[in-house]
């Protein structure tokens, strides 16, 4: 079997030379098992990738350039075995409307495989006013409906779920790179980056996680000081509070019973 020559200065690998990588490195075994010949790594907010050594934990997204499929790989987080099991149940049974998702679970590895979703990274739109064909309030609604979709799917998969519990996806940085995609042609948003943080929680914990995500969203938007179209959206503190209140009301009326 030939392997691509791994070059830490490049993400896309083009040569068919034997790599000096450790034989037991998870990436070497993964490429052989899934027969991936040409690929690139994609950085996300949670990437933890050491190519030279066998370390744990590791997280990386691999893009199969030949088949245009994406694999998010989690390695060696043994203390998350239970979390992996819960998340594997959800992602292997959920009905994703814009892409096909498959999972692979072992004792020391969890993989989410996904086909391409329509559109491109929301981050690219936020940084370029000329591309913004959606409003920030529309993005806010997409975020909220994504949360509702996870909750609804969780109830379906677990036949209603534990009594008094709600399916949380944890605290999410909604505008981090490679997290949400937007397709102008279809006017559709899709969450593409997933963490194994799905868990059944109390109403109070769900709301706490949600509020922290809402506050973080506006805090991160405020950091985009060089983009007037974003600054105009977050400039008025009273309007920010109204939008956070709007988000809280959505959770109360659309997600909670």
Other CB atoms within a 10 A radius of the CB of residue 43 amount to 12
pLDDT at residue 77, rounded to an integer: 58
pLDDT at residue 79, rounded to an integer: 64
DSSP code, position 81: H
Listed range (25-34, 149-158, 184-193, 247-256) with the worst mean pLDDT:
25-34
pLDDT in tens, 55-69: 788 888 999 998 999
Q: What is this structure's pTM?
A: 0.86
Task: Report the interhelical angle of 136-157 vs 81-93 (nearest 10°).
Answer: 100
pLDDT at residue 20, rounded to an integer: 57
- Partners of 115 in beta bridges: 69
Please name which of 100, 182, 190, 110 lies closest in space to residue 150, comparing C-alpha atoms: 190
SS3 call for 43: coil
Is residue 237 packed enough to be buried (19+ CB in 10 Å), middle (13-18) or exposed (0-12)? exposed
Rounded Cα distance, 202 and 162, in Å: 10
Average pLDDT on 79-89 reads 85
Cis peptide, bond prior to residue 178, ω within 30 of zero? no
CA dihedral 213→219→223→225, nearest 10 degrees, is 120
pLDDT in tens, 26-50: 888 888 889 888 888 888 777 778 7
pLDDT in tens, 186-216: 999 999 988 889 999 999 999 999 999 999 9
Q: What's the pLDDT band for 9 if we cut at 50, 70, 90?
A: very low
pLDDT at residue 36, rounded to an integer: 87
Residue with tokens 């981090």: 176
């Amino acid at each position: 079997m030939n392997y691509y020559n791994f070059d830490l200065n490049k993400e896309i690998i083009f040569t068919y030379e034997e790599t000096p990588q450790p034989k037991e490195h998870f990436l070497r075994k993964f490429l052989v098992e899934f027969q991936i010949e040409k690929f690139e790594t994609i950085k996300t907010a949670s990437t933890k990738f050491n190519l030279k050594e066998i370390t744990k934990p590791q997280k990386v997204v691999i893009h199969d350039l030949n088949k245009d499929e994406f694999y998010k790989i989690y390695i060696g987080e043994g203390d998350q075995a239970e979390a992996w099991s819960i998340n594997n149940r959800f992602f292997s049974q959920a009905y994703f409307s814009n892409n096909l998702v498959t999972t692979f679970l072992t004792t020391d590895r969890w993989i989410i495989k996904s086909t391409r979703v329509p559109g491109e990274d929301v981050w690219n739109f936020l940084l370029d006013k000329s591309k913004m064909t959606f409003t920030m309030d529309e993005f806010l609604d997409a975020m909220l409906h994504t949360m509702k979709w996870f909750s609804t799917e969780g109830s379906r998969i677990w036949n209603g779920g534990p009594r008094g519990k709600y399916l949380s996806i944890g605290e999410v940085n909604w505008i981090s790179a490679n997290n949400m995609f937007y397709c102008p042609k279809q006017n559709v948003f899709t969450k593409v980056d997933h963490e194994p943080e799905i868990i059944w929680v109390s109403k109070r914990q769900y709301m706490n996680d949600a509020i922290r995500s809402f506050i973080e969203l506006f805090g991160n938007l405020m950091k985009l000081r060089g983009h007037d179209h974003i600054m105009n959206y977050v400039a008025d503190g009273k309007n920010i509070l109204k939008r956070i209140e709007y988000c809280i009301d959505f959770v109360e009326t659309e997600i909670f019973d």
